Amino acid sequence: MTRSDTDEPTLEVVATFDALFVTEYPKMVALASAVSGDRAHAEDLAQEAMSRLNRNWTKVQGFEKPGAWLRRVTINLALSQKRKLLSEAKALVRLGTAQPTLAAAPAEHEPVWAAVAELPRQQRAAVSLHFLEDRTIDEIADILQISPSTARVHLHRALKKLRDRSEQEDLG
Amino acid sequence: MSDDNGNDDVRGAFDRLRHDAQQVDTMAALRRLDVSTRPRWVGLGVVGVAAAALLIVVGIAVRAGDDSQDSVTTEQPNPRSGDPTPDDGAPRPTGIDGTAWVMASGAGDEGVIPIVDGWPITISFDDGMLGGTAACNGYGGTFELDGDALLIEALSQTEMACDGGGASDVMRSEALFLRALISVDRLTIVEDRLTLSGPSTELVFDLAEPVPLAEFVGQLWLLDTIIEGETASTALGDPATLQLRDDGTLRGGTGCREFSGEYVTAGASVQFTTFGLTGDCSAELQEQDNQVVTVLGDGFTVEINRDRLTLSSRGNEGLSYTAIDEVPDFEPTATVTLEELQSATWTFLEGVGPDGEITPPERFPITMSFSDDTISGIASCNPFEASFELAPDGLTTGPVEGPQEGCEVEEANTAQAAFSMALERVTTASIADDLLVLTGPDTDLVFTSPTP
C-alpha cells in the first residue's frame, strides 16, 4: 500500500488551531459519515470531535501524533451506539443554527454504503481510513490503537466482503 | 494494495464522499466552535426561552444582584487564542471553585421542581465554568460571583431525550430546573448547603461526596455485576477490568471489547474525555458491552466500600466491581492449535519482514502447510522447509532451508529472501476465521486458507 503523494498538510505539521481546523474538519466530516453511515449527522460528529480537540488542545498538541487522536475521537463518536454524544454535538451545532451542508450520496453509491454499514465496526473504521485517507496499515493500527496485524486482518476482511458483495451484484 | 482489486465502485463512493466533504461549510463550523467555547453577552436582564421539552439557551446574560455594579466579561481560556491561562483581571470566584453539589429541593416560577430517583440534578463550579446534570442532559455555562451576586451566562445543554420508566417526569424535572436556573441571581452557602435563588426561584443543593480518588485510582477492578435500575446481572465474557491511572489515562474491558482513554474528575463525577474501544462482540455480549460503554461514557459517580466499587450513572444504571491484584488472563492465549495449523494449505496474503513489505509476484505465490514439526511449501521461487515448535505461549521456527535456484522473475527471488528471513523470526501464531497471522520482531505475515 502506498501513501498518496498529494497529502495536504497533516495535523503533525500544522501549527495553529484555526489552520488545523480548516484542514481537518472536512476530513473528519467524511470519516464520520463513512463510519457512522449517517450523512445527515456527519457534520455534527465532526464538530464535536473538533470541539473536543479544542478543549484538549493544550494537551493534544504535545502528542507525537495528534492526528491519530483526532481520528480516534471522530471514529469513536461515529461508532457510539446510543448516539448520546451525537446529541451533545447537535446541541453545540444548534447554537449556530447550522443546517447540514454535506450533499446526499448519489443513488448509484447507495448499495456501496449499505454494504459498508453492514461491516463490523472495526472493519468499517479500517476501510474508511484506507479509502478516505490512504492510510497505511501501521497508521490505521495507530489510530485504532490495535496491532498492525489486527489492522491488516480487519482491512483485508472488509475489502473481501465488499468485493464479494460487488461480485454477487454483478452476477445477480 | 492488491486487495483493492474489484472494489472500484467502493473507491468511487469513498472518493465522492471525500469530495462532497470538502464542500461543506468549514468556516461556519469554525465560527460555531467560537460560540460554543466563548461566552457572549447579548444584553442584561432575564431573558427567557420559550418553554420546550428540550431547551437550548444561548448567550443569555443574567445580571445578578445589584444593577449598579459594573458587569465584567470574562473570556474563557481558549486554545485558539494561544493563551494557556486567562489573565484578564476578571474576578475569579473563590471558595466555590472545585465544589460539586446535588439538588435536594427546588422551586421556580412554575412551582416545585420534581427530583426523580436515579436522575439527580447536579451542579459544580470550576474556574468560571459551571455545569452538571439536569436530570437527563448535561448542561454548562459560565458564571461570575461577586459577593453573593451570581451571574450565569452562556448556558447550553445537550439535548438527548431520556427514555425508560418515568421519562416524562425526568424531562419535566429537567425543563423546570433549567428554566429556574436562568433566573438565578444569588448564591449563598451555609455549611454544606448551597442555595441559588432568584426573584421567584430557590434551588437548594447538598454538598456532593467527592470522588474517592485515593482508593479508586491505581487500583485494578474486575466487573462482576451490571446494574440496570432494580435489576442486577452477572458480568459475562472475558474478564472486564477497569483501571484509572494517576497520569489521567485509563484502560479496561467490557467483557468482549477492550478500551483505553483518558479521564477527568468533574465535580463529584468522573468523565472520560477520550474513550477508544477495540474488538468485536458476539450477540450474547452486545448488551453488556453497551451497558458498560454507556455508564462509563456518560460519566459516573464513584462509591467505594472496602474492596467493592460501584459506578453509577443516570437512570440508576451502574456497574459493580471488586478490587483485584492482577488481570486474570486479560490477553487471550493459546491462540492456535496444531490441528488448526494442519487444517489447510496456507497462501501468503501480505506481510512485512525486517526488510520491509513482502510482495510475491502474481504467478509466484507463497504457500505452506504444517506437519507435526515441519513447515513446508513454496517460497515464491523455490520449495522450502523449516522446523517449528508450538508452545502455549507462541510458535517458534527454525532455519528456513531449501534450494536457492534463481527464478527468471526477479521479484520472486526478492520475495523468497524476504519471506525466509521473516519466517525465521516468527514467535507467535494466531488464527481468526480463515486467516493465519504469524508475528515476530519486525515481522507480520498474514496467510489465508483458500475456501475449498
A115: which chain B residues are within 8 Å (Cβ-Cβ)? 10
B396-403, long-range: CB < 8 A, 24+ apart: B396/B426, B396/B427, B397/B423, B397/B424, B397/B425, B397/B426, B398/B424, B399/B424, B400/B424
Query: B193 CA to chain A: closest CA distance, Å?
Result: 30
B278: which chain A residues are within 8 Å (Cβ-Cβ)? 122, 144-146, 150
Among A25, A56, A103, the residue with its CB nearest the CB of B273 is A56
> In whole angstroms, what is the distance from residue B136 CA to residue B131 CA?
13
Average pLDDT over residues B288-301: 85
CA distances from A54 to A21, A48, A120, B282, B418 (A): 9, 10, 30, 36, 45
Q: Which pLDDT does position B20 carry in this prediction?
A: 94
Among B124-128, B250-254, B367-371, the range scoring the smallest mean pLDDT is B124-128
Does A159 contact B7 at a Cβ distance shorter than 8 Å? yes
| pLDDT-derived band at B158, boundaries 50, 70, 90 | low
Q: Which pLDDT does position A16 carry in this prediction?
A: 66
Average pLDDT over residues B423-439: 83
- Reply yes or no on whether the pLDDT at B173 is more than 60: yes
| pLDDT-derived band at B352, boundaries 50, 70, 90 | confident
CA nearest neighbour of B311 among B208, B227, B199: B227
Query: A159 CA to chain B: closest CA distance, Å?
Result: 6
Consecutive H or E run containing B320: strand B317-324
Among A63-67, A105-109, B354-358, the range scoring the smallest mean pLDDT is A63-67
Residue for grid cell 442555595 = B195
The residue that leads in pLDDT, B248 or B48, is: B248
CA nearest neighbour of B153 among B170, B130, B172, B171: B130
Average pLDDT over residues B260-283: 77
B202-232 pLDDT tens trace: 999 998 887 888 889 989 999 999 988 778 8
What is the DSSP track for B60-110? --B--S-TTSPP---PPP-GGGT-SS--S------SSTT-EEEEEEEEETT
| pLDDT-derived band at B94, boundaries 50, 70, 90 | low
Does A47 contact B29 at a Cβ distance shorter than 8 Å? yes
Query: A141 CA to chain B: closest CA distance, Å?
Result: 11
Question: For strand B241-244 and strand B249-253, is the pairing parallel, antiparallel, or unpaired?
Answer: antiparallel
B421-425, long-range: CB < 8 A, 24+ apart: B421/B353, B421/B354, B421/B355, B422/B351, B422/B352, B422/B353, B422/B354, B422/B358, B423/B375, B423/B386, B423/B397, B424/B386, B424/B397, B424/B398, B424/B399, B424/B400, B425/B353, B425/B354, B425/B397
Q: Which pLDDT does position B166 carry in this prediction?
A: 62
Q: Which pLDDT does position A28 carry in this prediction?
A: 96
Q: Which pLDDT does position B87 carry in this prediction?
A: 38
A96-150 pLDDT tens trace: 335 677 888 888 899 999 999 988 888 999 999 999 999 999 999 989 888 888 8
Task: Name the residue type at position B393.
Answer: D
Average pLDDT over residues B355-372: 90
Structure-block grid coordinates of residue B337:
492449535
Q: Which pLDDT does position B167 carry in this prediction?
A: 65
Average pLDDT over residues A77-102: 53
- Residue in B15, B24, B35, B126 to test binding to A, most A beta-carbons within 10 Å: B24
> In whole angstroms, what is the distance from residue A17 CA to residue A56 CA?
11
Strand partners, A138: none
Structure-block grid coordinates of residue A17:
488551531
What is the DSSP track for A114-140? HHHHHS-HHHHHHHHHHHHH---HHHH
A148: which chain B residues are within 8 Å (Cβ-Cβ)? 352, 444
Please provide the distance, in angstroms rounded to a whole number, between the alpha carbons at the two ends of chain B.
25
- Reply yes or no on whether the pLDDT at A4 is more than 70: no
B19-77 pLDDT tens trace: 999 998 888 787 766 544 422 222 112 222 222 222 222 222 222 233 333 222 222 33
Among B15-24, B82-91, B356-365, B404-413, the range scoring the smallest mean pLDDT is B82-91
Structure-block grid coordinates of residue B421:
528471513
Q: Are B184 and B201 in contact (CB under 8 A)?
A: yes
Q: Which pLDDT does position B85 carry in this prediction?
A: 35
Query: A164 CA to chain B: closest CA distance, Å?
Result: 9
Does B160 contact A87 at a Cβ distance shorter than 8 Å? yes
Among A39-43, B40-44, B424-428, the range scoring the smallest mean pLDDT is B40-44
Backbone angles phi, psi at B416, to 5 degrees: -60, -45
Task: Name the residue type at position B211.
Answer: V
Please provide the distance, in angstroms rounded to a whole number, between the alpha carbons at the two ends of chain A.
31
B290: which chain A residues are within 8 Å (Cβ-Cβ)? 81-82
Question: For strand B269-278 and strand B258-266, is the pairing parallel, antiparallel, or unpaired?
Answer: antiparallel
Among A55, A116, A145, the residue with its CB nearest the CB of B260 is A145
Q: Are B447 and B368 in contact (CB under 8 A)?
A: yes
How much is the pTM?
0.42
A90: which chain B residues are within 8 Å (Cβ-Cβ)? 159
Does A85 contact B297 at a Cβ distance shorter than 8 Å? yes
Does B16 contact A85 at a Cβ distance shorter than 8 Å? no
Does A26 contact B4 at a Cβ distance shorter than 8 Å? no
Q: Which pLDDT does position B107 carry in this prediction?
A: 94
Q: Are B128 and A52 in contact (CB under 8 A)?
A: no
Q: Which pLDDT does position A90 carry in this prediction?
A: 43
Does B279 contact A105 at a Cβ distance shorter than 8 Å? no
Q: Which pLDDT does position A60 carry in this prediction?
A: 74
Q: Which pLDDT does position A27 carry in this prediction?
A: 95
Query: A151 CA to chain B: closest CA distance, Å?
Result: 10
Among A21-35, A158-172, B187-201, B403-417, the range scoring the smallest mean pLDDT is A158-172
Does B274 contact A73 at a Cβ distance shorter than 8 Å? yes
Q: Half-sphere exposure of residue B201, counting CA atoms within 13 Å on the CB side?
A: 21
Query: A87 CA to chain B: closest CA distance, Å?
Result: 5
According to DSSP, residue A81 is labeled: T
B157: which chain A residues are within 8 Å (Cβ-Cβ)? 91
CB neighbours of residue B20 within 10 Å: 21
Q: Which pLDDT does position B17 carry in this prediction?
A: 96
> In whole angstroms, what is the distance from residue B22 CA to residue A23 CA?
9
